[in-house]
Each structure stands twice: as C-alpha cells, then as structure tokens.
A and B are shown apart, each in its own frame.
Chain A
Amino acid sequence: MSVDATKAVVERSIGVGLLVLALLGPQLVTDFWMDTVLTQTFILGIGAASLIFLSAYGGMISLAQAGLMGIAGYALGNMVSQRVPGGETKGLTLGWDPTVAVVVAILLTVAIALVFGLVASRSFGIYFLMLTLTYSVIAFLFVSQVTQVGGFSPIAGIDRYTPGFVGDVVNDRERLYYISLGVAIAVYVLIRYLVRTPFGISLQGIRDEPLRMASLGYNVALHRTLAFGIGALVAAVGGVLFAWWSGQLSPSNIGLQATIELLVIAVIGGLVRIEGAWIGAFAYIVISNEVTNRIPSEGLPVIGGSFNTVIGLVFLAIVIVSPDGLMGIWDRIWDLARRRGGPPQIPAEIQRPAAETSPS
C-alpha cells in the first residue's frame, strides 16, 4: 500500500475514532468540558471552517466571518427576545416565532454577505483582506452604536427562545452539544462535497489562475461572490448556534477581537484543510481556559500575564514552525514517511497515459 493510501486509511480511522469519542463525549467528560470546551469547539470550528473554505478553495482570506456570525446572532437575538417583566431589557425585543427568526437571521446574513461579496469579489490579496475587515468593523460599529439593536449592552435571553425542534438548550446542554456536533459534521460534509462539484473545481481554478479562468469564459467575480455567500451561510449557522450556546451577545462578540480569534483558530488549525477548523478551535479554547486559570493563581512567568500574550506566542510559533498549522504538522509527518519510502508518488488520477509521455 502506498504512503498516501496508508495516510488516507489512518485519517479515516482517526476520523471515525474521533466521531465515536465525540458521540460518547457527554458521558466521558465533565459538564464544563462538554459545554464550554467541546460544544464551543464545534461552533467556533464551524465559523473557522467558513474562513478556511474561502481561503483553501477560493484563495480569499476573509476577516468578515466573525462579523457575519455576529450579524446572524444579533438578528436572531433582536427578533426572539421579549420585553416583559423579568424578560430582556435591551434590543428591539420583537418577540418573533423562533423558527421564523432563525430562517430570517440566516437569510438576512447571506443577503448582506452577497452584497459585501459583490463589492469585494473584484479585489484580491491584501485588498480583499482589508475590505472584509471593513465589513467586520461596520458590523461592530452598527451594533455597538445603534443602541436600539443592542449598543454596548448584551442582547440576552436568546437561548430561552429556541424552535421546537431544538428544544430547551438552557437546561439541557447535552442537547445543544449534539446539535452542534451534528451541524459541524453536516458543514464538513457539505464543504467536502462542494469542492468536488464543478462549481468547487472552477473555484479552485479561480484561486490558482483567475486571469486564465476569466479568459476561458468563467465569471470570476460571480464565482467569488457565490463562494462568499456560501461561506456566509456556514458562518450564519455557526452564529445562530453560538447565540444559543452563549445565550447573549454583545459587541465584543462581533468586534476586532472576535475577528482575530477566528483567524487565529484557522491559522492554528491550518488554513489549507477544513479539518483544521475544529482542531484549531479545540486548541484555542483549551489554551484559553488553561492560561486564564493558571496564570493568576500559580504566577506563571509569562510576559504581561495574559491570555493574549500566550496565544500570540503560540500563533508566532505556529507561523514559524508550521505555516500550515497543526494539520500541516500532520501532513509533514507523512511527507517524512514518503521521503523515506522513496520519491513521491503521483496520484493515479493525474498521471498521464503512457502513450502520451513516452514516444514509441
């Protein structure tokens, strides 16, 4: 068996093993780990997956994904919360049906993203990055300055108003765990499927050679806009889940810190493979919890003594040691094995027929 085939078998085996562990998760770990570490890993992983999808397959590093998650969450929060005694005190408190609100929140986010994407689709590289950062800043300033939709205060009670098929996620956190796990798997499968479709293949072509693809008759801007819309759909679903998980949202969940958080997750996991989204989210959340708990009480000698310092150092280390993140380390292990086993083997599907390569 070739190294690549072995790698594929090992990866599938690990994937199945992780899935089994994830399914048994609530029985194996503490409530805190189930809720704050694992559920949040699934949800932030979904957000990071939207970023990695755009980066790995569309060549677009978007800083708008956290903002789009926030837009979906804020829209949902404003639509479902209710201004009654003992209810919510901030936001529009429209008191809509939660199912309708979820659908509208996701559609609204995708619609906004399509407009954003249309504007950004003709820019590349650093210009695309800056434009998408601008979108996040616009979203942040909108929710923090327009006090009718929240302002500095939290939009709360979102977890109290969920659709019937979701149920009570306040008291039954296991339910939210499995919902988030299911959605994360669905997102993973969707992206894996999408990149193999003609749209996905042409998107990858645009990523590599936009000019050549345009000269071949592909509408580059449309493809990039649609990809941005799909990324927004994934981010919006993540945003809705995050709003249910957190129960309340405030501008910090949509601001620059959240934007950087998602980018750091994607970079730690690896910007080249979708799996990296959840690996990165898990690493980020575990580091966050450990650092915050240990530094004040045990006085670890970290400059500044803060989580941001530690995560910054980790980020730096990742960029220097493995620019493709933790998934990159994994790939390099197999590269090492491949080198020991001889020259790299060309996958069968891109080997040219012998007749073409060797003249008779």
Chain B
Amino acid sequence: MKLGRWKLLLPLALLVAGGTVATSGALATPAQSNVVRVAVMSDCKGAFGFAQELGIGGAQTAFAQFAGGKPKNKKKPSAGMTGIRAGGKDVNIVGYGCGDDTPATALKETRRLMQQLGADVLVGPLSGDEAVAIANWAKPRPTKTVIIGTAGSQDPTLQIAPKNMFRYHGDGAQWNAGIGEIVYKKLGWRSAAIIMDDYSFGWTSAAGIIADFCAIGGKITKRVFPPLNTTDYSSYVRQLPRPGQVDGYFWVVGGTGTGPALKAFEQAYGPINPEQHSGNLFLWFLTGKEDVAPRMIGVYVGGFGTAPGLKTKAVNQYHAIVNKWYPGQPADDGFFYNYYQATRALIAGLNKSKGAVGARLQASLPRSITAPFELSGKLKLDRNRQAVQDQWPVRIVRNPQGNPAVELTGYVPNVNQTFGGLFTSKSPAPSRTQPKCVKKKLPWQGKIREVKNGVVTKTVIK
C-alpha cells in the first residue's frame, strides 16, 4: 500500500478509535446513591505545585484515621485510598484536582470534578484566587459542598460567603495576627514598607499585617505589588524605601518568589539585617531551601494556623497519627494540616448526616471541632462558616544542627476573621489599597503570650 493511503487510513482509524473511547461517557448513566463522592483539589503546577501530595496526604490521613481508609502507597498519597466509609456509606474519592494557582484552571478542575465526575463534596482548593473562583461557582449550586483546603483569601467566607462553603482554618489575615504588634514592641518598628504578591491571598495576608501593625500605632509608608510568579524582583524592590527611611520591611512574596525577591533586595541595598525584616508564612518555607535563609536568623514571621514545636498531648497524638499513615509527611505544615482538618470535619459531618450530602451535610458539618493546635482543644466556626483560630507567630532560628528553622515565639488566642470589626461583609475585600492604615483596639492586642521551648508562658509580650 502506498504511503499516501496510510496517511489517510491511519488517522481515520485513530479518529474512530479515539472518538469511540472519548464519547463513551457522553450518555447518561444513573449515579449510585449509596456512595458519597468526594474530590480533593490541590495545586500540582504553578507557584505551589510542590504542595499537591501535602494536601492529598492531609485529607487522606483524616480518612485513614477516622473513616477506615487504607492508603495504596504510604509514600505517595496521590496513589489513592480504598475502604473509606462514613455515615454508613462508602466514600469514593472520584478524583484529585490539579490547580496551578490561577482561577481559570481552578474553575476548569472544579467543573471536571463536581460536574463530570459527579463529586458531592470538594475538599480544596489550595490558593487564594482559586478559592474566590470556587466560591463564586459554588454560590448558585447549593447542592454541592466545598470545604476549603488551605486557601487564605478573605473574600470566599466574608464578602462572597456562599452557604455551602466552609473553612476550618484561618484566612491569610488571621494567620498574621500578632506579627505587627511583635515587631512594634520587640524591634521598635514605627514605620514600615510592605511588598505583597499582587493577588487575593497576597492582599489578604498583607491586610492582616497592615491591620495588626497599624492598630497598635505603626505606619505603612509604602506598598509594592509584584505579580505572582514574577522571577526578576529587582524593579519591585527598587520601589521600596531605602534602609533607614523606614524601620522595617514586611515580605508577603510567596511560592517560588520568596528567595529571588530577598536576593534582589540584597543586590539593591546590601546584606539583610534581620531586625529590619518580617513577613508572612512564606518566609517559613525559605528556611530549608534558599541560600539567603542563614541571613534571616532572628526574623519574626507570621503563622500558618499551626504550632510547630508546641509541646502538648494533642499535638503528640496528631504527629503519631500522621506518622502511622503517611510517615515523613510534614504534619506541622499548613498545606498538610489544613486539609487534614477539613477532611476530619467532613467525616464528622457525614457521620452526623448519616451519609446524606447537600443541605443535610451542610447542616451537619461541625461548628466546633477538635483541633490539635488549638490551646483549648476546639476550633469554632463563626456565622459565615469561617474558623476562629488561635495563631502562632514564629521566629527563624538556628536548629541544633546549625540550620535555619522556625521556632514558636507567640500565642495569639481566638483570632476571628473580622479583626474586631475592621473587616466586614460590607467592607471592600483586601486589595492593593485595602485596608487603610488605622489605629484600633484589636481583641488580642496586649494579650499575646510568649512561647518558650514549645510551652505557652503566662508572660505577655511587651
């Protein structure tokens, strides 16, 4: 047969075969009502692509511990899990969503998981604007339930706040409660500049720092906004005031950008003086990876809703659970822990609703849940189904091996999303210009207690 004919017949054969396979799912098949379909969505690409196994691992650790799930591979959570039962029904993980921190991909993945694969519940997403997109998607679809994995933007549970969306961890602003007061009191900062990723989580996280720092009397003199996934930060750090013009700098630059941003600062203004720098949880992740980290020893950093190194029985039990099901997973990492808590709440809800989903599940999801990093042992939701959570600012120190690590430095009790009324459903969502820098009495102001060697002391930070 001539080559020309092959060039016709081969694609035709492939087309017919591919078309048959691809369209086989087009015709409707009845869904099984005795199975609860759950999807877990994390990021496998983009700035937080490293966290996919953490999110899935956190969710499946809860399924293993509280719902009889059996990991297929203890070293690779995304290999799957079998045998999950809750509320008298089998729970089937229908798919893992793969986000890339963009709203468009999150939306596409949500449609695939919730509409094509028919998931009743989504545990996820990971990132701020993904959650904004999914909150908007969920609002007109009340039969679907979303429990946020670890996304920290404020809008999904305050301004948009669909009734079928739940968050069992703080938002990015809550995580930073206390950090402004700490640098104001311990380092004597009175003025600062802030550089923030130019998207919803960056804005929310910065909003927490700005609100906390300004509330006690500090001034933010400059705000700079590099886009997410920037690789060359030199033009952005040049927009910051020179050292000496402000007392310090807050860094809210995340993912793969943290190290390059700090290095760009050093290239512009010389070596980092730790007493002039602070920031959000992204500085944590710097400690193990970036060569700029050793020069950050002593820097105070906002929390992630977890308390690494906290010495309590509940924390020890939680660590034992994680080591049992997925040894080696970073139990204190919010990317893991927040998915664990979200799924734990889901299991409790399913048990209470007897496996029912939709409105009955939403009514049954717990408004108060056991949480190892809450000093009281319980985490509560507010009326917007958003966590009121203890926060744990940390400090970068040298560990016994001489490497940079983080250590608990403060305990901020019962941080709510509104910051004592500063943020409301009617206030503009955090943005480049929101919130304004205003002095205000915050509920936890003057109540932040020092943490020494993993133990909360009675000493209030002064």
Q: Are A154 and B115 in contact (CB under 8 A)?
A: no
Residue with the highest number of chain B CB atoms closer than 10 Å, among A86, A89, A248, A296: A89
**Which of chain B's residues have a CB closer than 8 A to the CB of A145?**
227
Q: Are A32 and B115 in contact (CB under 8 A)?
A: yes
* A150 CA / B23 CA spacing, docked (Å): 36
Q: Are B129 and A89 in contact (CB under 8 A)?
A: no
Q: Are A156 and B12 in contact (CB under 8 A)?
A: no
**Which of chain A's residues have a CB closer than 8 A to the CB of B96?**
296
- Nearest A residue to B29 via CB reads A30
Task: Confirm or deny: A322 has a beta carbon within 8 angstroms of a beta carbon on chain B.
Answer: yes
Task: Confirm or deny: A329 has a beta carbon within 8 angstroms of a beta carbon on chain B.
Answer: yes
Q: Are A329 and B12 in contact (CB under 8 A)?
A: yes
B89-109 interface code vs A (CB 8 A; 1 in, 0 out): 000000110100011110101
Residue with the highest number of chain A CB atoms closer than 10 Å, among B104, B227, B228, B426: B104
* A292 CA / B112 CA spacing, docked (Å): 9
| Stretch from B133-141, B175-183, B314-322, B402-410 contacting the other chain | B133-141
Q: Are B425 and A30 in contact (CB under 8 A)?
A: no
- Interface size class on chain B is 35 or more
Q: Are A152 and B228 in contact (CB under 8 A)?
A: yes
Task: Confirm or deny: A289 has a beta carbon within 8 angstroms of a beta carbon on chain B.
Answer: yes
**Which of chain B's residues have a CB closer than 8 A to the CB of A33?**
25-26
Task: Confirm or deny: B66 has a beta carbon within 8 angstroms of a beta carbon on chain A.
Answer: no
Which residues of chain A from 244 to 269 have any CB-CB distance to chain B below 8 Å in the complex?
A: 246-253
Query: A146 to nearest B CB, angstroms?
Result: 11
- Nearest A residue to B111 via CB reads A36
Q: Are B26 and A30 in contact (CB under 8 A)?
A: yes
| Stretch from B153-161, B265-273, B370-378, B411-419 contacting the other chain | B153-161
Q: Are B26 and A153 in contact (CB under 8 A)?
A: no
**Which of chain A's residues have a CB closer than 8 A to the CB of B155?**
89
Which residues of chain A from 84 to 117 have any CB-CB distance to chain B below 8 Å in the complex?
A: 85-86, 88-90
* A37 CA / B112 CA spacing, docked (Å): 11
**Which of chain B's residues have a CB closer than 8 A to the CB of A356?**
none
- Nearest A residue to B10 via CB reads A321
Query: B138 to nearest A CB, angstroms?
Result: 11
Task: Confirm or deny: A130 has a beta carbon within 8 angstroms of a beta carbon on chain B.
Answer: no
- Nearest A residue to B202 via CB reads A152
* A23 CA / B429 CA spacing, docked (Å): 43
Q: Are A154 and B116 in contact (CB under 8 A)?
A: no
**Which of chain A's residues have a CB closer than 8 A to the CB of B109?**
292
Task: Confirm or deny: B1 has a beta carbon within 8 angstroms of a beta carbon on chain A.
Answer: no
* A252 CA / B106 CA spacing, docked (Å): 11
**Which of chain A's residues have a CB closer than 8 A to the CB of B23?**
286
* A83 CA / B434 CA spacing, docked (Å): 15
A156-B22 contact given A86-B425, A293-B117, CB 8 Å threshold: no
Partner of B132, one of A37, A147, A156, A286: A156
Q: Are B8 and A154 in contact (CB under 8 A)?
A: no
Q: Are A250 and B133 in contact (CB under 8 A)?
A: yes
Residue with the highest number of chain A CB atoms closer than 10 Å, among B15, B159, B432: B159
* A153 CA / B80 CA spacing, docked (Å): 32
Q: Are A170 and B95 in contact (CB under 8 A)?
A: no
**Which of chain B's residues have a CB closer than 8 A to the CB of A333?**
8, 12
**Which of chain B's residues have a CB closer than 8 A to the CB of A253?**
104
Q: Are B28 and A297 in contact (CB under 8 A)?
A: no
Task: Confirm or deny: A317 has a beta carbon within 8 angstroms of a beta carbon on chain B.
Answer: yes
* A83 CA / B159 CA spacing, docked (Å): 9
Task: Confirm or deny: B233 has a beta carbon within 8 angstroms of a beta carbon on chain A.
Answer: no
A283-321 interface code vs B (CB 8 A; 1 in, 0 out): 000110110110011000000000000000000010001
Residue with the highest number of chain A CB atoms closer than 10 Å, among B96, B117, B140, B161: B140
**Which of chain A's residues have a CB closer than 8 A to the CB of B132?**
89-90, 153-154, 156
Which residues of chain B from 253 to 299 have any CB-CB distance to chain A below 8 Å in the complex?
A: none
Partner of A30, one of B5, B8, B28, B105: B28
Q: Are A160 and B140 in contact (CB under 8 A)?
A: yes
Query: B143 to nearest A CB, angstroms?
Result: 12
Q: Are B102 and A252 in contact (CB under 8 A)?
A: yes
A154-B95 contact given A29-B28, A30-B27, CB 8 Å threshold: no
A86-B136 contact given A35-B115, A154-B129, A296-B98, CB 8 Å threshold: no
- Nearest A residue to B7 via CB reads A321
* A248 CA / B15 CA spacing, docked (Å): 33
Task: Confirm or deny: B150 has a beta carbon within 8 angstroms of a beta carbon on chain A.
Answer: no
A289-B116 contact given A29-B26, A85-B425, CB 8 Å threshold: yes
Partner of B140, one of A29, A171, A292, A321: A171
Which residues of chain A from 213 to 257 have any CB-CB distance to chain B below 8 Å in the complex?
A: 246-253
Query: B173 to nearest A CB, angstroms?
Result: 14
Query: A22 to nearest B CB, angstroms?
Result: 13
Q: Are A151 and B159 in contact (CB under 8 A)?
A: no
**Which of chain B's residues have a CB closer than 8 A to the CB of A248?**
103, 107, 133, 136-137
Q: Are A89 and B116 in contact (CB under 8 A)?
A: no
* A253 CA / B129 CA spacing, docked (Å): 14
Q: Are A152 and B105 in contact (CB under 8 A)?
A: no
Which residues of chain A from 29 to 46 have any CB-CB distance to chain B below 8 Å in the complex?
A: 29-33, 35-37
* A89 CA / B155 CA spacing, docked (Å): 7
* A31 CA / B111 CA spacing, docked (Å): 12
Task: Confirm or deny: B198 has a beta carbon within 8 angstroms of a beta carbon on chain A.
Answer: yes
* A334 CA / B19 CA spacing, docked (Å): 21
Query: B405 to nearest A CB, angstroms?
Result: 32
B59-102 interface code vs A (CB 8 A; 1 in, 0 out): 00000000000000000001010000000000000011010001
Task: Confirm or deny: A144 has a beta carbon within 8 angstroms of a beta carbon on chain B.
Answer: yes
Task: Confirm or deny: A336 has a beta carbon within 8 angstroms of a beta carbon on chain B.
Answer: yes
Q: Are B102 and A247 in contact (CB under 8 A)?
A: no
* A14 CA / B227 CA spacing, docked (Å): 49
Task: Confirm or deny: B431 has a beta carbon within 8 angstroms of a beta carbon on chain A.
Answer: yes
Residue with the highest number of chain B CB atoms closer than 10 Å, among A144, A250, A296, A329: A250
Which residues of chain A from 4 to 48 have any CB-CB distance to chain B below 8 Å in the complex?
A: 28-33, 35-37
Query: B115 to nearest A CB, angstroms?
Result: 5
Q: Are A252 and B26 in contact (CB under 8 A)?
A: no
Partner of B200, one of A31, A86, A152: A152
Q: Are B199 and A170 in contact (CB under 8 A)?
A: no
Question: Can you spell out 23 A-B residue pairs with CB atoms less than 8 angstroms apart?
Answer: A89-B429, A145-B227, A152-B102, A152-B103, A152-B198, A154-B107, A154-B132, A154-B133, A157-B136, A170-B140, A247-B136, A248-B107, A248-B133, A248-B137, A250-B104, A250-B133, A286-B22, A287-B22, A292-B109, A296-B96, A297-B95, A322-B7, A329-B11
Given A89-B159, A322-B7, 8 more pairs with CB closer than 8 A: A89-B428, A153-B200, A248-B107, A253-B104, A292-B112, A296-B96, A322-B11, A333-B8
Residues of A whose CB lies within 8 Å of any CB of B are 28-33, 35-37, 83, 85-86, 88-90, 144-145, 147, 151-154, 156-157, 160, 170-171, 246-253, 286-287, 289-290, 292-293, 296-297, 317, 321-322, 326, 329, 332-333, 336
